[in-house]
Chain A
Amino acid sequence: MRAWIGFLLAAALALAVPAGARAQLAGDTSLTAPPVAPPLKKGSPLDHLTNDPKLDQLPIGYSEGQTGGVPFFVAHRAVDTDGGMGWGWVRKSDDDWSDGRWIALQEQPGLAVAPFRKLKTRDGDDNWEFKFWGHYAAYKAYDPHLDELLPVFVLQGYQVIGPAAPLNRLVGPPDRPHSRGSNASSRPGSPIETNHNID
Chain B
Amino acid sequence: MRLLPIVLSLLLLGSLAVQAQPGEHIVLTGGPALRFMEHGKDASHDFYWFNFVDASTIWLNQIKSTAAPGDLITWLVYKPAYVSRSNELGLNLVAQIVDKARALNVNLLFFDTKDQLINYLNKGQDRGRMKIVSFDYFGHSNKACFLFDYSNTIDTMSICFLHVIDLKHIHGRDFARNAVCKSWGCHSGELYSKWWKDEFDVAMTGAVGKTDFSHGGLPALSDANCRWSQ
Contact = CB atoms under 8 A, between A and B. Distances in A.
Interface string A125-150: 00000000000000111111101001
Given A34-B50, A191-B195, A144 B147 contact: yes
A154 B147 CA distance: 20
**Interface of A: prevailing SS:** loop
Given A4-B5, A114-B155, A199-B185, A32 B66 contact: no
Contacts of B120: none
Contacts of B34: 46, 109
A85 B9 contact: no
A45 interface: yes
Contacts of B15: 15
B217 A32 contact: yes
Contacts of B69: none
A82 interface: no
A8 B6 CA distance: 12
A99 interface: no
Interface size class of B (residues with CB under 8 A): 35 or more
Interface stretch (A17-25, A70-78, A176-184): A17-25
Contact of B54 (A34, A106, A152): A34
B157 A142 contact: yes
Given A33-B216, A38-B89, A106 B153 contact: yes
A50 B39 contact: yes
Contact of A144 (B19, B40, B66, B142): B142
Interface string B62-97: 110010100000000000000000001111000000
A37 B155 CA distance: 21
B5 A191 contact: no
Given A11-B12, A107-B155, A198-B186, 6 more contacts: A8-B12, A29-B218, A30-B58, A38-B91, A104-B154, A145-B156
16 contacts: A4-B9, A19-B180, A21-B66, A22-B66, A26-B218, A45-B88, A85-B155, A142-B161, A143-B157, A144-B158, A145-B156, A147-B142, A191-B195, A197-B187, A199-B140, A199-B141
